A = this chain, B = another copy of it.
Amino acid sequence: MYSFKNDYSEGTHPNILRKLLESNDEQLEGYGLDRYCEEAKVHIKRHFKCDKSDIHFLSGGTQTNLIALSSFLRPHEAAISANTGHVLVHETGAIEATGHKVISVEVKDGKLNPTHIQGVLDYHSDEHMVKPKLVYISNPTEIGSIYSYDELKALNECCRMNNLFLFVDGARLGSALTSKENDLKPEHLTTLTDAYYIGATKNGGLLGESLVINNEILKSEFRYLMKQKGALLAKGRLIGIQYTELFKENLYFELASYANELADKLRNGIVKAGYNFLSDSPTNQIFPVLPDKIIERLSEEFNFYVWEKVDDNQSAIRLVTSWATHSDEVEKFIKLLK
């Protein structure tokens, strides 16, 4: 049964496997100090114009979030997140387990704005409450929406004015940056945020997130934190080689574009079939609202998540495309829907 359940169902892009094979016999330094990690950093710095940033390679999103936040925050400081934020509900309390509260803000479209943040700051007035110190956003968000340049700029200004850090969870960053509606350039992440990461797990890699730390005061001794939380892989080459392949040219963006195109195709097909969506997502996760009977029928031939009940007869489902999604399965899905 074909799956639109997520973007990490398949292995990895063949180029990566080929390079793993080619480099397999080389003796390399451990713990991310090998030449592939160095090469990957050079390529990322070129694409994201982040020459002065520090780059670290980690295994997954939860690991990256928990290490970054626990490194950046003092014990009484907290992160602010949209109520849909991955750190808030889908990481088993990973941030809290490092001692920090995540403050939830109720939002409609998965996105935080300066008004939300000001509200949190106004409320947290003294030492009987945690001190909000870091704004956590995901781009794209957990429901597929993306931040425009103006929106990110506004957050940046709000954070600077209020002495807050701005952190971007980029587990699906490729999909945001290659979305048709996107007007953010890679370098804007470098100029407008304190730190962000570039996810590979969900865009063609086997595992791996590249954390880019822009703010000088957050850079210090970050590798200690990685080691302490069990994130310094002995064979760091495994991630270095992947990022080298993804960024030595434009593979990372090509894979994300492909995933977005197939999502567009799905979306268009669903629109034409006369259905609406739970959220306005221009990226590789879409949330059509369908009659439960139709969902039942689709489930017989495709694998996907039923996201939430919308009313007595309808539910939203989540469909995710990836670099590996088969175009003809998309067509079959649309055909079946009709």
Interface residues of A (CB under 8 A from B): 2-3, 6, 8-12, 14, 17, 20-21, 23-30, 59-60, 62-67, 70-71, 74-76, 78, 89-94, 96-101, 104, 127-131, 201-202, 206-207, 221, 223-235, 237-238, 303, 324
Which B residue sits closest to A230, measured CB to CB? Answer: B63
Classify the interface of chain A: helix, strand, loop or mixed: loop
- Shortest beta-carbon distance, A209 to chain B, in Å? 10
Q: Complex formed: what's the CA distance from A101 to B235 in Å?
A: 27
- Within the assembled complex, what's the spacing in Å between the Cα atoms of A206 and B235? 7
- Verify B231–A63 contact, CB threshold 8 A: yes
Per a CB cutoff under 8 Å, which of B11, B224, B238 touches A92?
Answer: B224
Task: Compute how far the CA of A129 lies from the CA of B221 in the bound complex, rounded to whole angstroms.
Answer: 12
> Which chain B residues lie closer than 8 Å to A17 at the CB level?
17, 20-21, 24
Q: Are B230 and A229 in contact (CB under 8 A)?
A: yes
Give min CB distance, A201 to chain B, whole Å: 5
Q: Are A230 and B62 in contact (CB under 8 A)?
A: yes
Tell me the minimal C-beta distance from A162 to chain B in angstroms: 15
Q: Are B75 and A130 in contact (CB under 8 A)?
A: no
Residues of B within 8 A of A235 (CB): 8, 11-12, 201, 206-207
Instruction: Report the Cα distance A287→B6, complex, angstroms.
Output: 49
Asked if A75 and B231 sit within 8 Å, CB to CB, the answer is: no
